[in-house]
Amino acid sequence: MTATAAAIIRPACRAGLGRADYAVHGVKSLIAALLAWGAVAPWSPGNRPHLAVATALIMANAPTVYRSVTKAAQSVFARSAGLTLALATAWLMGSTTGSVAAIAVIAVVIGPRRAVDDRLQIASTAVIALAATTAAPASGLVAPAAQTLTGAVVGIVVNALVLPPLYLDESDSAVRSLARAMGTLLSEMGAGLAERQLAARAHIWLHQARDLEKNLVDAEEHVRQADESLRWNTRRTAHARRKDVTYGEAFRTLRGVFLQVRGIARTLSDNAHDDHTGHHLGQQFLDQYAETLKLAGTAVEEFAGPRATTGTSRAAPRERLRGALDGALTWHEAMTDLIGRGALTKPGAWHIYGSLMTDVERLLLDLDHANTP
């Protein structure tokens, strides 16, 4: 497949997945709305279970089953606390301006300081309930609370049983994208050093290395969401994979690799713009370091390569990674020997040699350790 064809197919696949997601959300929303309406309409005042339906829709379309349960618990707790606060304030002080001020003080100032949203929801619920008591008996506030609780239960059940969301593919894709970005930068730095372009491109490499943090944050969020989507998920058994099912272990390794890649780029940039000519790296070292970076780039890309599909050899990706690591470590040992024998030019830059060698050594050791069964 050509690069152009692949570029066309990938957006098409993403569009197809987007339509499938919309269809799933539509089906879940319809089921949740019908169930909530059927469960609440017979006993709701005026046969209007709109609050239950709205709550069920929110919970049924929560990003994960775990999130729907926690959101429902927080919502029910906040509304119950607000209702209790309103009834207590109305009983003690009546529906007056002083009651509203008391609610604000109690819910916002005295409430739990870590949950700002919960405090605000408690306060707003209490104020609305307090206003409602002036036009209707206090017992009339029980029905909305019961509707909220019923809708939350219906939404959670629908979200848990009707194609509960999983984000394993998104997690895999984000981690592989991070590995490709770092591997590509390492290879580009190697090619640039081999072409004697250190001074011209060092600042570009440093900028690209710093930009990798965006990929890192994106991958971390996707891995976190994938881990969360597996909690209390009925589809988990159908997606049983190896231990790093969400690529969490691979991400943690790549997070360390990111630090080394950024360190290498920073050291090369600092050296390229160092005014002390005696500190400049020798070309003999740079030529061999260039080969190491190219091989390290290949190793990083292979490390988080796609898993083997059914019927293919799982050993192939591991063998390619092992070959890239072996090649890079061989070059590393050769350079270490040259430095040890003092065979490299520009001996005034020994501290820079040490920094670059330490970074690439740690990078390769992290990959090698993570790849060992």
Q: What is the pLDDT along the chain (373 residues), one digit of tens a residue?
A: 333 333 333 443 443 446 677 888 888 999 999 999 999 988 887 777 888 898 889 888 888 888 888 877 877 777 777 777 777 777 777 666 677 777 767 766 665 555 556 666 677 776 766 666 655 555 566 777 788 889 889 998 998 888 888 888 889 899 999 999 999 999 999 999 999 999 899 999 999 999 999 999 999 999 999 888 888 887 765 555 444 456 788 899 999 999 999 999 999 998 888 766 556 777 777 887 888 888 888 888 888 766 544 444 445 555 666 666 677 667 667 767 776 776 665 555 667 777 888 888 888 888 877 765 4
pLDDT at 313: 47
Closest CA to 295 of 258, 326, 249: 326
Contact 209, 266 (CB under 8 A): yes
Concatenated DSSP letters for 54-122? HHHHHHHTSSSHHHHHHHHHHHHHHHHHHHHHHHHHHHHH-SSHHHHHHHHIIIIIIS-SS-HHHHHHH
Locate 99 and state its tokens. 């009651």
Residues of the chain with CATH 1.20.58: 168-306+315-371
Predicted pLDDT of residue 239: 52
198 with 272: CB under 8 angstroms? yes
216 near 48, Cβ under 8 Å? no
pTM: predicted TM-score of the whole model, two decimal places: 0.71
Both structure tokens of 65 = 């089953």
> Do 122 and 82 form a contact (C-beta atoms < 8 A)?
yes
Q: CB-based burial of residue 357 (10 Å sphere; 0-12 exposed, 13-18 middle, 19+ buried)? A: middle
Q: Give the class (CATH, top level) of 168-306+315-371.
A: mainly alpha
- Residues 73, 118: Cα–Cα separation, whole Å: 11
Give the per-residue pLDDT at 7: 37
Which residues fall within 8 angstroms of residue 117, CB to CB, at 6 or more apart? none
pLDDT at 117: 62
Per-residue pLDDT of 148-163, as tens digits, reads 889 889 998 998 888 8
* CB burial of residue 266 (10 Å; 0-12, 13-18, 19+): middle
pLDDT at 364: 80
For residue 95, what pLDDT is reported?
64
Q: With contact defined as beta carbons under 8 Å apart, do 125 and 83 qualify?
A: yes
